[in-house]
Structure 1
Amino acid sequence: MTSTRTVTLCPDPPLTLHEAGDGRPVLVLHGGGGPASVAGLVAHLAGHGHVVAPVHPGWSGTPRPAWLTGVDDLALAYLHHLHDRDLRDVLVVGSSLGGWIAAEMAVRDTAHRITGLVLIDAVGVRIENEPIRDFFTLDARGIADYAWHDSERYYVDPAAVPAEQLAARQGDMGALRVLAGSPYMHDPKLLRRLARVDVPALLLWGESDRIVTPAYGRAYTAAFPNARFDLVAGAGHLPHVEQPEATFALVDAHLSAGGGGA
């Protein structure tokens, strides 16, 4: 069974949630590309538990309160949501920006509601000599070249995109710039704080990602005390889109081995 609803959790922002499946709570957090970029991941994980997939405020036309200006605000809002619904033994899965939010949630989870993490080509930390590509400086061709393994397949000519879709993308990018534009796509303190996050973590990386490279991903993984790094061949920044079968197989193996928590 699937459903979509909006809940208001004062003083937190209203959240639009897509929910599917039954069992263990699985929070799926999308990246800058919006909820459509994790739709396949949501469908797959619904076979493992009860998936809760929020639309980040400001994406897809949803309201973003003026005070919500940082990833830390989102991380706290989602933690409050877990608390208010009394969700426990939660697996948090995040792609790109969503992985950053997941990591920020984990360092703040003093109630120990999160028992597992899966971060997919996550941003959020500063790694010496491995800068995060400035997404805002790239045109459509640059995005295809840096974000995808098969850039020709995924390149979209802006001239062929309907005006309403372009406007929606611009709205999403505006929200992304507010939340993650300065300092660009990272929290300077997060890397050091990850040493206190001892839940099992799987970090998956597309081998051809040039937004955040596999070397960045390995350094990110090393900051966790209980983490594993896996590389997905033939994929870029969104391996769950380019190579879904291989990505899902790695997630399933991690969960079957007990790497996802309790």
Structure 2
Amino acid sequence: MTTSQTHTMRRPESSEPALVLSESGTGRPVLILHGGGGPATVAGLAAHLARGAHTIVPTHPGWNGTRRPGWLTGVDDLALAYLHLMHDRGLSDVLVVGSSLGGWIGAEMAVRDHARIITGLVLIDAVGVAAEGEPSTDFFALDARGVAEHAYHDPDRFHVDPADVPAGQLALRQGDMAALRAIAGDPYMYDPKLLRRLGRVQVPVLALWGESDRIVTPAYGAAYAAAFGDGRFEVVPGAGHMPQIEQPEATLALIDAFLAG
């Protein structure tokens, strides 16, 4: 059973928007953080993990037509907001699963988790670090065809011409990209201090990477995983930046094995 609810983001000195959450299942809490494409990109992950866990899937403020408060200008703001959410709920033994931008948020949460609420981390083609010799592709400089070619193993299957997208849906996508640019555009898609801080994170970390990702390459992912105190790196064949969409069975099998291990 899936439920949707709201939780007020903590920022006493400003007008606070309600944080939109979708929840399902019972058991270990699993916080699932979407990337720039919105919560639909992690819906399959959430449905699978909800079979044996309590999944919590926020919609980042500014996505899907939600309001982004003026003070939310960086990924660190989101990381702290989600840590506050878990603390306010009295959660423990939390697994954080993040795709792309969501993986960056999860990594920033882990380095700030002094209460040790988080006990596991899964990064799926995460952005957020400066890996020497492996710069991330400037997503905002790509047209729709370029996005498909960089983000997918099979771009012809996933390319969508903006002219074919209904006006309302296109407006939502444009709003998503505006929110992404506002919180992650300067410096572009990374925290210059994050990579060196990851060694302090000692919880088990699984970094999953699509072999054909040209947004952030597998070499970038390997450097990301190696920076953690207990990081493991796995490549998903036949997938690009979102292996949970192109190769869901292989991706979920690797996550299940990680959790079982």
TM-score bin (small chain) = over 0.9
Cα displacement (A) at 1:48? 2.6
Q: Deviations over 1:177-201 (max 9, x none)?
A: 0000000000000000001000000
Cα displacement (A) at 1:91? 0.1
Q: Deviations over 1:218-246 (max 9, x none)?
A: 00011001011000000000000000000
Matched residue type, 2:124: I
Give the paired residue count: 257
In the alignment, is residue 38 of structure 1 matched against residue 15 of structure 2?
no
Matched position secondary structure for 2:105? helix
In the alignment, is residue 129 of structure 1 matched against residue 129 of structure 2?
no
TM-score by length of 2: 0.97
Matched position secondary structure for 2:55? strand
In the alignment, is residue 119 of structure 1 matched against residue 117 of structure 2?
no
In the alignment, is residue 164 of structure 1 matched against residue 168 of structure 2?
yes
Matched residue type, 2:160: V
Residue of structure 1 equivalent to 2:80: 76
Matched residue type, 2:190: H
After the TM superposition, which residues 49-198 of structure 1 pair with which residues of structure 2 at under 5 Å, given as runs?
Answer: 49-198=53-202
Task: Tell me how far apart the structure 2 counterparts of residues 13 and 186 of structure 1 sit (CA, whole Å).
Answer: 26
Matched position secondary structure for 2:235? strand
Matched position secondary structure for 1:142? helix
Matched residue type, 2:77: D
Q: Deviations over 1:37-90 (max 9, x none)?
A: 111011011113100000000000111110100000000000000000000000
Residue of structure 2 equivalent to 1:236: 240
Q: Deviations over 1:119-138 (max 9, x none)?
A: 00000000111000000000
Task: Tell me how far apart the structure 2 counterparts of residues 4 and 250 of structure 1 sit (CA, whole Å).
Answer: 28
Is residue 13–residue 77 contact of structure 1 (8 Å, CA) maintained in 2? no
Is residue 221–residue 228 contact of structure 1 (8 Å, CA) maintained in 2? yes
Matched residue type, 2:98: G
Is residue 203–residue 227 contact of structure 1 (8 Å, CA) maintained in 2? yes
Q: Which runs of 5+ in 1 are unaligned?
A: 258-262
TM-score by length of 1: 0.97
Matched residue type, 2:126: A
Residue of structure 2 equivalent to 1:260: none
Task: Tell me how far apart the structure 1 counterparts of residues 84 and 27 of structure 2 sit (CA, whole Å).
Answer: 20
Task: Tell me how far apart the structure 2 counterparts of residues 48 and 180 of structure 1 sit (CA, whole Å).
Answer: 33
Cα displacement (A) at 1:13? 4.5
Matched residue type, 2:94: V
In the alignment, is residue 201 of structure 1 matched against residue 205 of structure 2?
yes
Runs of 4+ in 1 over 2 A off after TM superposition: none
In the alignment, is residue 212 of structure 1 matched against residue 216 of structure 2?
yes
Q: Which runs of 5+ in 2 are unaligned?
A: none
Cα displacement (A) at 1:8? 1.1
Cα displacement (A) at 1:10? 3.1
Matched position secondary structure for 2:170? helix
Task: Tell me how far apart the structure 1 counterparts of residues 9 and 102 of structure 2 sit (CA, whole Å).
Answer: 20
Task: Tell me how far apart the structure 2 counterparts of residues 65 and 41 of structure 1 sit (CA, whole Å).
Answer: 28
Q: What percentage of aligned pairs have identical amino acids?
A: 70
Matched position secondary structure for 1:31? coil
